[in-house]
Amino acid sequence: MIIEDDYSDIYLSSPVSDVSDRESSPSPRKRTRVKFDKDVLMVPYKEGSESERKPEKSAAVIREEVRRAIQRHVSGTDSEAYDRIKEIFAVDPRRRDEDGMLAYDVPTHTSLRYHLLGLLSNVASLDRSCNGLVQAVLNSVWLGRDESYIKLYIRFLGNLAAAQGSYLGTVLKMLVNCLGELPKDTGKVPGYTPVHVSEIYARVHTALRHVLQLIPSGSGTLSPILSHQFPFDTDSAKANIAYTKNLIRVISYAPELRGDILSLITEKLVKIDVHIQVDLEDIEDEVGEDVLQGVSPESVMFEEDDQDVDDDNDSVMSDESVDSESKRIKSIKDNILKLDGMIDTLFGYYAPHFATGTLDDKEGAFDLLLSHFMSIILPIYRSRHSQFLLFHFSQSSPFLVDRFALECTTIIFNKKHPAILRQSATAYLASFVARGAHISGEVVRNVFIMLGRDLDDLRMDYEATCRGPDLRRYGPFYSTAQALLYIFCFRWRDLTNAAIEGDTPEQVDELEPEDITFPPSIKEVLHQAIHSKLNPLKVCSPAIVSQFARMSQHLNLMYVFSILETNKRLRMYSFRSIGSMADPRFSQVEREIRAGDDLGYQLDAYFPFDPYQLPRSRRWVEGDYVHWRGIPGLDGGDDSDSDADDDESEDDHSDGTETDDEL
């Protein structure tokens, strides 16, 4: 009998004897069932039949063999025994041959455990020359084994990292690599009870916690690994959501990494968020709306134990018959799922700090949110949803409302900040005040008056040299003017004299238009700015200007339709500068004006807290922002429930570039 080369290194003991005995049996039936190929002897592995194998060596014997093997390998005299130990851990017990049979060279559970005990006893000898053996152990199949082996393996990892510091990064990287989407066969080792995904993650976290407890300074090594191992942009939504959830879990036993982890997740959120907005703008409006509405809340009900279910997105994306447009839409939907699941996880992490935490907990969490807003979100254009973490939690108390408003105000009036950053802070503050449902009328009035004073100062600075409307030269003025118009459209009820005297918005709605009046400070700042040579109604977003014109006439604030008619015939001359074109959010949107082929430059309607669109995580902010409310007596609007529902529906479907309803 000849043994095929592929099996020549496998020890054949009792299985061969068993076959020979059957061959010599006098039974004719036995002879007809057993056949030997002239070249190959096939001996199937009988899973769990350890009694047929060579008798197991004791733990003490194997420990001594491991010690001698490592010693001889390190000294350079002989590596044969060392290589055999390495092969024991390199074998994958889930491997199957060409006939679908489990590999029969798998070491027994007892043998594997005794060899790991031997390594644990000699961990101080596993220097750099033993890197191959260490890598074999780290890459071995361990997560699906029984609890006793898991405990022993985790002890080995901790002792290895503590005794041989050069392996700390390798150990941590192996563990972190198990925090994302796991291969489908993870936790399914022949001969062992299948382990659920949630338990697999728990085992990985137990190992990480153990290593960090033994080596407190290990968190400094872990932080860059967590960042480097974050799923790629092309990875699935499941991978991103699973990794995000597990990063949040790391904070519970490595609180010193909280800032790094939350900052990392926020950076990834903003990147995905911006990518979605860019992709949506590249397709037709109707198609983009269908994409957003096509992602249901159930689509993002991600559960850890569902990872063994086939991902429909992957199957569709890999189908060559699908055209490029369908693939792009599928990619956008997958990114929406990523963003929704990741930001929902962050909402869930921060919520207890504000709901039941101490004052220090609230302030610490809010400090982190503010820090991430300043360094990550504020400088980035097109972020559409990431900022709602701050929008939601800052409204949890009047004190936090004031803190966020103060933070924006500080940026707006600090001349050391770039003009682009100051204008962005103006848009955030205006959108926060206009949309925040839990922001008092007093705060609305204070912010409006503060921005009004700033607008007046800018007008006086610019008007002396102004030869006509020019966004490139007078960007800060137009950004502030548009912010005031936006606040007025949504919160005009809080700006009336009746509100100052204590009337509620509902009571203001019951007044006749002729009984609604505004303080002189509000009327004068708007009147002077609108009638100045800077002409903000020509430059500000047409949707906002149009709505303000209708409302101001109805409320007897001012009549501006004559200015709008004049602006239709106005040609604008632009004085270009490189600095003014640095950021697209305040750059010029070129449109043909009605007077002819002249190109006008108009301000983008950039207000970061326009309606939230993600299907699952929107539940966190549903009661946070002011929906558009019709004005009684204007276009037949009576603020009825049906009208409000219609307006909210349109509100929720806004694409973020214009306000809802008329805006």
- pTM as predicted: 0.81
| Residue 459 or residue 53, greater confidence | 459
pLDDT tier at 646 (50, 70, 90 boundaries)? Answer: very low
* Residue 465 burial (CB count, 10 A): 9
- Specify the pairing of strand 599-602 against strand 589-592: antiparallel
The average pLDDT across 272-282 equals: 88
DSSP string for 97-142:
-TTSPBPS-PPPHHHHHHHHHHHHHTGGG--GGGHHHHHHHHTS--
Say what the pLDDT of residue 112 is: 93
Say what angle helices 398-412 and 419-435 make with each other, to 10 degrees.
150
Q: What's the token pair of residue 501?
A: 């005297």
End-to-end CA gap in the chain: 86
Rounded Cα–Cα distance for residues 617 and 348 (Å) = 10
One domain for residues 37 and 62? no
One domain for residues 84 and 36? no
Using alpha carbons only, give the angle 611, 615, 617 rounded to the nearest 5 degrees.
85
Q: What's the token pair of residue 182?
A: 């796991």
pLDDT tier at 636 (50, 70, 90 boundaries)? Answer: low
> Quick one: what percent of the chain has pLDDT higher than 90?
61
The average pLDDT across 224-229 equals: 97
One domain for residues 185 and 286? yes
Q: In which domain, by residue range, is 12 found?
A: 5-43
Cα 360 to Cα 354, 363, 364, 370, distances in angstroms: 10, 5, 6, 15
Would 365 be classed as within a structural domain? no
Number of domains in the chain: 3
User: Does residue 576 carry a pLDDT above 90?
Assistant: no
Q: Which of 301, 320, 335 is the last residue of a domain?
A: 335
Contact criterion met (CB below 8 Å) for 559 and 526: no
Would 390 be classed as within a structural domain? no
The average pLDDT across 60-68 equals: 94
User: Does residue 455 carry a pLDDT above 50?
Assistant: yes
User: Does residue 652 carry a pLDDT above 50?
Assistant: no
| Residue 470 or residue 313, greater confidence | 470
Rounded Cα–Cα distance for residues 228 and 533 (Å) = 54
Contact criterion met (CB below 8 Å) for 307 and 243: no
> Could you tell me the maximum CA-CA distance found in the chain, to the nearest angstrom?
117
Rounded Cα–Cα distance for residues 509 and 330 (Å) = 45
Name the E strands within 9-82.
none
One domain for residues 239 and 312? yes
Rounded Cα–Cα distance for residues 391 and 432 (Å) = 7
One domain for residues 82 and 200? yes
Would 29 be classed as within a structural domain? yes
Contact criterion met (CB below 8 Å) for 570 and 467: no
The average pLDDT across 552-560 equals: 93
pLDDT tier at 284 (50, 70, 90 boundaries)? Answer: low
Give 287-341 pLDDT, tens digit per residue: 555 566 556 555 544 444 444 444 444 444 445 445 777 888 888 999 999 999 9
Q: Which of 335, 367, 388 is the last residue of a domain?
A: 335
466: alpha, beta or left? (left if phi > 0; alpha if psi -120 to 50): beta
One domain for residues 14 and 67? no
One domain for residues 565 and 585? yes
One domain for residues 286 and 319? yes
User: Does residue 601 carry a pLDDT above 80?
Assistant: no
Would 392 be classed as within a structural domain? no
DSSP state letter for 585: G
Rounded Cα–Cα distance for residues 149 and 308 (Å) = 24
Would 137 be classed as within a structural domain? yes
| Residue 498 or residue 47, greater confidence | 498
Rounded Cα–Cα distance for residues 551 and 486 (Å) = 12
Say what the pLDDT of residue 282 is: 75
One domain for residues 555 and 650? yes
Say what the pLDDT of residue 104 is: 56
Rounded Cα–Cα distance for residues 149 and 172 (Å) = 19
User: Does residue 641 carry a pLDDT above 60?
Assistant: no
Q: Which of 312, 335, 358 is the last residue of a domain?
A: 335
One domain for residues 119 and 19? no
Rounded Cα–Cα distance for residues 307 and 305 (Å) = 6
Rounded Cα–Cα distance for residues 159 and 124 (Å) = 9
One domain for residues 119 and 14? no
Say what the pLDDT of residue 628 is: 84
Say what the pLDDT of residue 326 is: 81
